Amino acid sequence: MDAAEFRKRGKEMVDYVADYLEKIDKRQVFPDVEPGYLRPLIPDCAPQDPESFEDVFKDIEKIIMPGVTHWHSPYFFAYFPAASSFPALLADMLCGGIGCVGFSWAASPACTELETVMLDWLGKMINLPEEFLAGKDGQGGGVIQGSASEATLISLLAARTKTIRRVQSENPELTEAEIMGRLVAYASDQAHSSVERAALIGGVKIKNVSSDDKFTVCGSALKKVLDEDKASGLIPFFFCATLGTTPCCSFDRLLELGPICNKENIWMHIDAAYAGSAFICPEFRHLLNGVEFADSFNFNPHKWLLVNFDCSAMWVKKRSDLIGAFKLEPLYLQHHHQERFRSLKLWFVLRMYGVTGLQEHIRKHVRLSHQFEHLVLQDERFEICAEVVLGLVCFRLKGSNELNKALLKSINEAKKIHLVPCYLREKFVLRFAVCSRTVESTHVKFAWQHISQLATDLLQTWEHDDHQQ
Amino acid sequence: MDAAEFRKRGKEMVDYVADYLEKIDKRQVFPDVEPGYLRPLIPDCAPQDPESFEDVFKDIEKIIMPGVTHWHSPYFFAYFPAASSFPALLADMLCGGIGCVGFSWAASPACTELETVMLDWLGKMINLPEEFLAGKDGQGGGVIQGSASEATLISLLAARTKTIRRVQSENPELTEAEIMGRLVAYASDQAHSSVERAALIGGVKIKNVSSDDKFTVCGSALKKVLDEDKASGLIPFFFCATLGTTPCCSFDRLLELGPICNKENIWMHIDAAYAGSAFICPEFRHLLNGVEFADSFNFNPHKWLLVNFDCSAMWVKKRSDLIGAFKLEPLYLQHHHQERFRSLKLWFVLRMYGVTGLQEHIRKHVRLSHQFEHLVLQDERFEICAEVVLGLVCFRLKGSNELNKALLKSINEAKKIHLVPCYLREKFVLRFAVCSRTVESTHVKFAWQHISQLATDLLQTWEHDDHQQ
């Protein structure tokens, strides 16, 4: 394929993508296929000779689309949102065309520099303390990572290196392996599994800190476990606070936790993967108060700020901590591996929406989640399971876990909308996450009426059944 | 921006990318900017109100392009290639449009399944032993990673978990921390720094194995260091063999190293980041002989197989080893974090080039590197520093490191072509890597004439100078 054919095919693909997104509400949000559906549909091995674009193109609808979960459908209310917008798609096309690899300044000056400046823009939008910004010659700064998991891992590793050095300088008789064996990381019992995985990768212990009845970690809970662990000879070194937990979007109390971490020489990392985007709205910024105590902070514009995957924004107060841990180039805050020109997406989206446009997007989602909350509250069969702060509503039928599992099953089998569940304490709970860029009040109303009807149908058969407990 | 405007702007962007790539040879391959050039060119913070696409678009040529190192210019001979092709760009547009997140089968069935099947296609193209393929119900299989560094890290961590379990079952009195403190990983002294970094992240020791005068690790060198380390109580657990080292594209001797690793319970990972693509040509496949002894194998289609970044292909013989190390879903070989629909790029490229088209691409690059080698050999002032096997030529002026540094400086300051250096033993060496998809014999000839002329100019002043040593 030469440039001339690319011009033709590229424009066809632009139309295909525009059609797909414009009419996505006509597609069934969750596919009908069973595991293993795809292999029998395509040959066993790559063709020897080139196939035409037409042949490949027609297989998109025939082979791929039947197996796609449509994340951008306005009937998709599962997980958390995956951001998508037209300006970001345009930026990605440019990024692919330039096709540079930004592993050092010389390898691509524009790529490295735009990233640093865009993370300053973004940091200012959420009113991050100046220490986290690169500015012209600050010690802090931001970098784009692939995911919040990656940011958590990197901060845990930086904390590990820093702590080992400190403990070793205070106790020269201890070997690195002995210190490693005594290090403990902490996170809420509501934290994402990636924190546990980061500790597993870093070869250190991890302990849960108990959250309270609002699924929030407060200072006293952290202090309790720290005191116990220090008394038994362990070395607490890392705490991952969560703002907007995955199950129910609860918020750890930074203002209590931060001073404890600072006093105890514990690296505080804040994982605000989903919720962080909301901090661009002044009315939600208070949720971030206490960030001044943190060593690192992360949120995902690719979740809720209309920047397509992947774009996870991570800031540190001291770039030198990362450089110490990874032997990175000192001049710029570097990734631990090669990357594409991902900052172009941020640049396009921030400029073409403007701060006000992005605020509108956040506020619409929050408004729609409260709309759903009110609908649930009007139905006495249901209960709300956690405070609705941003775009997520946790709800369930008053009744057993089995009943709620049956309800979710009937929702997802009908495939008119798509939800995923979570557990809050031992309760099986349905999560209604406002996700799509194009979701409106009518979709939320439809979703509720549908859920409500399925609940009615379910409860009728359920009462005649011996499932009830 | 709505779908209608995206149709218009998307098509303009297709033309911009096509123009950029069609006329890339007219742009200066390496930019003129100095570090920090970009920040003064753009505002301090994001705009409150939306800007138009026209405003953003005109800044591409004004702000971004002056700072781009043009990786796809036919005058770019630095690092290793970054793959780029029109079919891959089309697939990336589709990937962005679908915008799914493939962290589990249900989250996107097509994404998960196409990836597994594409890695089987690719495995068959390089004649990988069947144990590495997923097939319908094999124990092995492939997965797309972001980079070879990531693949190395994942295999090192899997090996660590596996070894700790084995040693602990044999020596129940040892704690995990004690075992960790005795684990040692190995790689050639020519291996990429990412192997050292993986060990650093995993909290284990790493040692270099000495390469021979061909920059190759042979069995006896590995055996020597293993015997010493075992005698001093250490536990060797991981060896990363390199096929196509970064400095000079040398090849470790798998047929000698593999049986040693198997006998000693050492996980052998093969990093063939650049060279792996060449194994689709039967005449280069012998370089992979011995892969049957490995536990994991990796190469980067995003380097040399016309698949845009990022697409690093990794296979393991036992998926269960990874699942053990990362607590991943057992049903499919999972990534350790969320990913896009990257297999679409492979599908488009493999089908639209066909095996023969990709073989032609590899063979052209190898032919051009031999052309450059012959030009160097005809000039008595120069020497070739390592055997030319694939698309890389390591060469230098017969003379001091200072002389060769001065030559490289004059080449890169002229900015007609771009090269990077390496050290082989203590020798400063210039690397000529055939990179661009569109590079032809005329560009190679031009590069050589240019280098030769600069050498002539340099040697004239050099002789009148006291730099010579």
Q: What are phi and psi of A186, to 5 degrees?
A: -135, 150
| B221 three-state secondary structure | helix
Distance CA B332, CA B117 (A): 12
Element (H, E) at B56: helix B53-59
How close, in Å, is residue A397 to chain B by CA atoms? 24
Would you state the pLDDT for residue A332? Answer: 28
Q: Note whether A149 contacts B60, CB cutoff 8 Å.
A: no
Nearest to B340 by CA among B87, B101, B97: B101
Q: Note whether A10 contacts B21, CB cutoff 8 Å.
A: no
Q: Which two tokens stand for residue A109?
A: 């000056």
Would you state the pLDDT for residue B327? Answer: 52
Portion of chain A with pLDDT greater than 70, in percent? 96
Distance CA A191, CA A188 (A): 5
Q: Return the DSSP state at A60.
A: I
Would you state the pLDDT for residue B463? Answer: 73
pLDDT at A228 > cutoff 50: yes
Distance CA B300, CA B313 (A): 6
- Render pLDDT for B264-321 as a digit per residue (tens, 0 to 9): 999 999 999 999 999 999 999 999 999 999 999 999 999 999 999 999 999 999 988 8
Would you state the pLDDT for residue A197? Answer: 87
| A126 three-state secondary structure | coil
Residue spans of chain B under pLDDT 70: 324-338, 464-469
**Chain centroid to CA A10:** 31
Average pLDDT, chain A: 93
Under a CB-based contact definition with an 8 Å cutoff, are residues A102 and B102 in contact?
Answer: no
Would you state the pLDDT for residue B326? Answer: 60
Under a CB-based contact definition with an 8 Å cutoff, are residues B153 and B317 in contact?
Answer: no
Nearest to B78 by CA among B417, B309, B305, B312: B417
Would you state the pLDDT for residue A336? Answer: 39
Among A5, A15, A149, select the one facing B336 at the smallest CB separation: A149
Residue type, A224: K
- Render pLDDT for A418-443 as a digit per residue (tens, 0 to 9): 999 999 999 999 999 999 999 999 99
Q: Which residues of A151-168 are buried (b: 16+ CB within 10 A; e: fewer)?
A: bbbbbbbbbbbbbbeebe
Under a CB-based contact definition with an 8 Å cutoff, are residues B89 and B437 in contact?
Answer: no
Would you state the pLDDT for residue B321? Answer: 84
Confidence of residue A376 (pLDDT cuts 50, 70, 90): very high
If you write DSSP's letter for every residue of B312-374 in order, what string do you get?
Answer: EEEEES-HHHHHHHHT--SSS---SS----THHHHHHHHHHHHHHHHHHHHHHHHHHHHHHHH
- Interface probe for B, chosen from A48, A113, A137 (most Cβ of B below 10 Å), is A113
Burial of B60 (0-12, 13-18, 19+ CB in 10 A): buried
Under a CB-based contact definition with an 8 Å cutoff, are residues A335 and A292 in contact?
Answer: no
- Neighbouring residues of B395: CB distance < 8 A, sequence distance ≥ 6: B373, B376, B382, B383, B384, B385, B429, B430, B432
Q: Which two tokens stand for residue B3?
A: 């779908």
Domains and CATH numbers, chain A: 3-78 (1.20.1340.10), 100-340 (3.40.640.10), 356-467 (3.90.1150.10)
Q: What share of chain B is helix, strand, coil (3-state, %, to 5)?
A: 50, 15, 35
Cα separations in angstroms, B209 against A268, B155, B158, B182, B199? 39, 19, 21, 18, 15
| A143 three-state secondary structure | strand
Query: Chain A to chain B, count of Cβ pairs less than 8 Å apart?
Result: 400
Under a CB-based contact definition with an 8 Å cutoff, are residues A444 and A372 in contact?
Answer: yes
Would you state the pLDDT for residue A320? Answer: 83
Q: Note whether B79 contacts A97, CB cutoff 8 Å.
A: no
User: Nearest chain B Cα to A42, which residue?
Assistant: B117
pLDDT at A96 > cutoff 80: yes
If you write DSSP's letter for every residue of B394-454 in order, what string do you get?
Answer: EEEESS-HHHHHHHHHHHHHHTSSB-EEEEETTEEEEEEE---TT--HHHHHHHHHHHHHH
Would you state the pLDDT for residue A327? Answer: 52
Q: What are phi and psi of B77, to 5 degrees?
A: -125, 30
Q: Note whether A82 contacts B93, CB cutoff 8 Å.
A: no
- Interface probe for A, chosen from B27, B34, B39 (most Cβ of A below 10 Å), is B39
**C-beta neighbour count of A128 within 10 angstroms:** 23
**What is the bridge-based pairing of β-strands B205-209 and B183-188?**
parallel
Q: What are phi and psi of B204, to 5 degrees?
A: -125, 160
How close, in Å, is residue A414 to chain B by CA atoms? 15
